[in-house]
Amino acid sequence: MRRIFLAFWVAMASAGAWAQVSLFDLGLGTRAMGLGGAYAALAEDAEGLLYNPAGLAKVRGIVVDSTILAGWVGAGYVGAALPSLGAGIGYLGTSAGENLGFSQLGLLAGFGLDLRTFGFPVLGGIGLRFQSTNIAGESATGFGIDVGVLGSFPSPFGEIRAALVLRELAFGGLSTEFVLAGAWVSPFGLSAALDLTSEYIALGVGWALLGMAEVRAGLRQEGGVFRVALGLGVRFGNYKVDYALLTHPLLSPSHRFGFGLRF
């Protein structure tokens, strides 16, 4: 009986720790995480749903992106976008034994608009997040709103971008995050980005080769922990494959695999 009692309280303590975990905080978006998460000013595809909904205004055609996270925890995400609109779904799950499992379901929807047609020098966007958490049979939900702007300015050395994002303006279950970001994109395929947020600092660099591949690297500081990121993306016509590795000084590295389509 004593062992059963002890096992019960260990499981409850684990569940309490899991309750602080959010699917949206695990670093979804394979290209973004190959840059260490420095993506708010580079967002221009379906991953804009996760980092800056203003990036949806830059989408051309129909884009589908996915992420599979493998490491100490497993999670998956699929997002789709067309000009100015996007939606996505994510899932996180693990098990602590019978009737003590943990799972989260996340839903996102966003809208981006080119505010330059109204005289403002930026793109704007708004997103909605929903998260449902189940721990040991008990459920809880949370809602959040994302609001972002993204500006780009030409220079003799390439395009300069700046972004301001308020993520997860929360109504329970999510934590509000403030983001100030900048990026530089050169005409030779080089790019660099910096995200300063209330949760982490990320610096990323990338080099696109002939529009067919992109090599990425990043540095992320979060909670006093420094993590190194490496990434690679390859395109085959309308298809793309992405990979990102994120190290951790104490835990095993986490791997992200992404597959996408563009029409």
At 169, list the tokens.
């303006």
b vs e for 58-92, b when ≥16 Cβ sit within 10 Å of the residue's Cβ? bbeeebbbbbbbebebebbbbbbbbebebbbebeb
Beta pairing partners, 182: 162, 194
Residue 181 has which token pair?
């970001």
Query: Which domains, ranges and CATH numbers included, belong to the chain?
Result: 2-262 (2.40.160.60)
Confidence band (pLDDT; 50, 70, 90) for 143?
A: confident
Distance CA 120, CA 31 (A): 29
DSSP conformational letter for 233: E
pLDDT tens-place string over residues 229-248: 999 999 998 999 999 999 98
Considering only residues 244 and 5, tell me which one the structure prediction assigns the higher pLDDT: 244
Q: Which residues of 125-157 are buried (b: 16+ CB within 10 A; e: fewer)?
A: bbbbbbbebebbeeeeebbbbbbbbbbbeeeee
According to the model, what pLDDT value does residue 201 have? Answer: 96
Give the global pTM.
0.86
Give the C-alpha distances (Å, rounded to integers) separating 37 from 74, 179, 218, 255.
18, 12, 8, 14
Residue 15 has pLDDT above 70, yes or no: no
What does the pLDDT read at residue 172? 59
